[in-house]
């Protein structure tokens, strides 16, 4: 009996949400099959990357999502009604895409990297459009400073397909997203990754097709090395929320690494005596641009923190 057969599959473990179109979903079952699903009730809001418990229906090819497993992390943004909207869940990696065109804002890159650090995911900076020629000296310097702070740096050209293998390698075994300023080439890079994906492009564009009554759709594209990239307009345009003031320093790797050497355990690295961070900035071991960026983000966080 086919119904009984699929019911045994529902007990085999949670399914992964691999595409969303409003209130409709595509699930990857533990056995590798993909099925479409809806949710039971209005209370559940699954997103791409979620692990869910789902059950097949008796006389219907659709499945029903009955529960969302606890999330390891969430990518969120405030929506227009002042509530927090979850864009994706259970991420492993964030790739911050940047380029010399449009002119880069390194403070924005720092904010993405800070958010990634606080979410507990690995991050990389992908400098795209290298086909345009020599990097701007300020960009070359900024990338070198990130590398020295311990971040992974990739050089890519979505136009010429350069560095796409390195980007694939970075995403191996990881569920990742590409974020960054508008116009840096995120969609173009995702398209390059999709070309290497496990699914034929037609099947993915079918998944990407926005439902008639839905506004946001997102899709998770499986890559050949066990990785995946989650893509949607919302994910690509995601701007990180400002962290709690006490958390900001943890989002700057080189500052977090120096902080245990400060005299005060609650040192904010501003005007405190015997501050290891300021010492390293003076010695040139921590980039002064990154330090100023830290101070700027901390000031922003403190302004927003005030009741």
- Give the footprint of ligand GDP on this chain (CB under 6 A): 128-129, 131-132, 157-159, 182-188, 236
Which of ligand GDP, Zn ion, none does residue 184 bind to, with CB < 5 to 8 Å depending on kind? ligand GDP
Spatial separation of the C-alpha atoms in residues 132 and 99, rounded to whole Å: 10
Query: In the set 68, 91, 204, 262, which binds Zn ion (CB under 5 A)?
Result: 262
What does 15 bind: ligand GDP, Zn ion, none (CB cut-off 5 to 8 Å by kind)? none
In angstroms, rounded to a whole number, what is the distance separating the alpha carbons of residues 151 and 170? 12
Q: Rounded to whole angstroms, how far apart are CA atoms 56 and 36? A: 10
**Least Cβ distance, residue 287 to ligand GDP (angstroms):** 25
Please select the residue that binds Zn ion; options are 47, 221, 267, 286, rule is CB under 5 A.
267
With H, G, I as helix, E, B as strand and everything else as coil, classify residue 170.
helix
Which residue is listed with tokens 């070309």? 195
Q: Which residue do the tokens 């690509």 mark?
A: 236
- Cα separation, 134 vs 192, in Å, equals 23
Q: Is 218 helix (H, G, I), strand (E, B) or coil?
A: strand
Q: Please say which residue, 6 or 128, places its beta carbon nearer to ligand GDP.
A: 128
The least distance separating ligand GDP from the CB of residue 151, rounded to whole angstroms, comes to 20
Q: How far is the CB of 155 from Zn ion (least distance, A)?
A: 33
262 binds, among ligand GDP, Zn ion, none (CB under 5 to 8 A by kind): Zn ion
If the CB atoms of residues 125 and 158 are measured against ligand GDP, the closer one turns out to be 158
Residue 280 within binding range of Zn ion, rule CB under 5 A = no
- Considering only the stretches 38-46, 177-185, 271-279, 291-299, report the one whose residues sit in contact with Zn ion under the rule CB under 5 A: 271-279
Residue 115 is a binding residue for Zn ion (CB under 5 A): no
C-beta of 128 vs 287, nearer to ligand GDP: 128
Q: Are strands 60-68 and 228-231 parallel, antiparallel or unpaired?
A: unpaired
Contact between 192 and Zn ion (CB under 5 A)?
A: no
- Of residues 103, 106, 110, the one with CA closest to residue 249: 110
* Binding partner selected for residue 267 from ligand GDP, Zn ion, none, CB under the kind-specific 5 to 8 Å limit: Zn ion
257/250 Cα distance (integer angstroms): 9
Measure the CA–CA gap between 270 and 297, rounded to whole angstroms: 13
Choose, by CB under 5 A, the member of 174, 175, 269, 290 that binds Zn ion.
Answer: 269
C-alpha distance across the termini of the chain, in Å: 61
Q: Which residue has the tokens 């993915």?
A: 204
């Amino acid at each position: 009996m086919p119904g009984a057969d699929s019911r045994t599959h529902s007990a085999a473990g949670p399914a992964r949400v691999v595409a969303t179109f409003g209130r409709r979903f595509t699930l990857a079952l533990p056995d590798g099959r993909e099925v479409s699903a809806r949710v039971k009730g209005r209370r559940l809001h699954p997103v791409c990357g979620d692990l869910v418990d789902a059950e097949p229906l008796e006389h219907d090819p659709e499945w029903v999502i009955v529960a969302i497993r606890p999330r390891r992390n969430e990518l969120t943004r405030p929506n227009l009604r002042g509530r927090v909207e979850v864009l994706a869940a259970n991420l492993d990696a964030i790739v911050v895409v940047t380029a010399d065109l449009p002119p880069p804002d390194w403070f924005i890159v720092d904010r993405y990297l800070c958010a990634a650090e606080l979410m507990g995911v690995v991050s990389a900076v992908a400098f795209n459009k290298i086909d345009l020629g020599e990097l701007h000296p300020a960009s070359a310097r900024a990338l070198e400073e990130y590398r020295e702070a311990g971040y992974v740096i990739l050089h890519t050209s979505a136009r010429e397909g350069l560095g796409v293998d390195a980007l694939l390698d970075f995403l191996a075994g990881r569920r990742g997203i590409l974020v960054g300023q508008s116009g840096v080439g995120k969609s173009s890079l995702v398209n390059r990754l999709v070309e290497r994906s496990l699914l034929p492009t037609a099947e993915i564009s079918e998944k990407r097709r926005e439902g008639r009554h839905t506004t946001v759709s997102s899709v998770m594209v499986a890559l050949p090395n066990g990785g995946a990239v989650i893509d949607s307009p919302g994910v690509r345009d995601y701007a990180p929320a400002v962290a709690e003031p006490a958390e900001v320093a943890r989002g700057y790797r080189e500052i977090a690494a120096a902080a245990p050497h400060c005299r005060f355990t609650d040192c904010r690295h501003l005007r405190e005596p015997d501050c290891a961070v300021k010492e390293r900035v003076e010695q040139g071991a921590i980039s002064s641009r990154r330090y100023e960026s830290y101070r700027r983000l901390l000031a922003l966080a403190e302004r927003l923190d005030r009741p």
